Amino acid sequence: MRSSPPRPSHLRASRLRTVGTIVVALLLIAGLVAPAVLAHAQLLSSNPTSGASLPTTDEVSLTFNEDINPDFVQIVAEGPDGDVAAGEPDVSGAVVTQPIAPSGSGPHTVTYRVVSRDGHPVSGSVTFTLTDVEAEAPAAAPTPSEATSETSPAVPETPESATPVSNDEAVASATGTDGEDGGSGAWLVAGGLAGLVAVGGGVAWAARNRRHPEH
């Protein structure tokens, strides 16, 4: 006997089972892949929290759900008077800490852009209000007397042991010294001439006696 061909209802049931198996397999795959795809870096919390009001603070910390790549961290901290960032941000795992130096009370905003270890970027901002920040007092301008004392040249002091000498005394002293030297030179010249005359006379007398000896 020949076997009868399969009924159409049996074919439909077989196809439904095949489709059901494929759907279940796809759902399982999606369940495994979806968490990894959806697990982008995101901000979990901040200190101060966004919208908070506090007296003052010297840093803002941001905590993410993944470790942050320290090479791709950008933080901009601004207050009522402009930039208040005080140095580079510090990254420790999933926590980013930005030092700030507030210059006055009022709203402050910290804008961030970071990249997680797996390469997913995340950006956002945190805004809070500082209520008790002491503004730096401007430097006092120097008074006219202080400015004059700083610019006045110093007058050299006259030594107490030095005695001023008048021009007349200086001239008289110089003249007396020159006169004494000149007098000594004149006496030496006169003495030399007298000696020469005496020697010449002696030589002449001796020559005369040789020519005319006494008899």
Give the three-class secondary structure for 19: helix
The DSSP-derived string for 31-79 is: HHHHHHHH----EEEEESPTT-EES--SEEEEEESS-B-GGG-EEEEEE
pLDDT exceeds cutoff 60 at 200: yes
Assigned token pair, 62: 């941001």
Q: Give the pLDDT of residue 118.
A: 84
Low-confidence winner among 100-104, 141-145, 191-195 (lowest mean pLDDT): 141-145
Unique residue bearing structure tokens 């999606």: 30
pLDDT exceeds cutoff 50 at 107: yes
- Residue 51's pLDDT band, with cuts at 50, 70 and 90, is very high
Give the pLDDT confidence of 114-139 residue by residue, as tens digits.
999 889 999 999 999 999 998 665 55
Q: Which CATH architecture has domain 43-130?
A: Sandwich (2.60)
Query: 56-79 as b/e, with b when 16 or more CB fall inside 10 Å?
Result: ebebbbbebebebbeeebebebbb
Assigned token pair, 88: 């580079």
For the chain, the structural domain boundaries read 43-130, 176-215
Assigned token pair, 94: 């999933």
Q: Give the pLDDT of residue 70.
A: 96
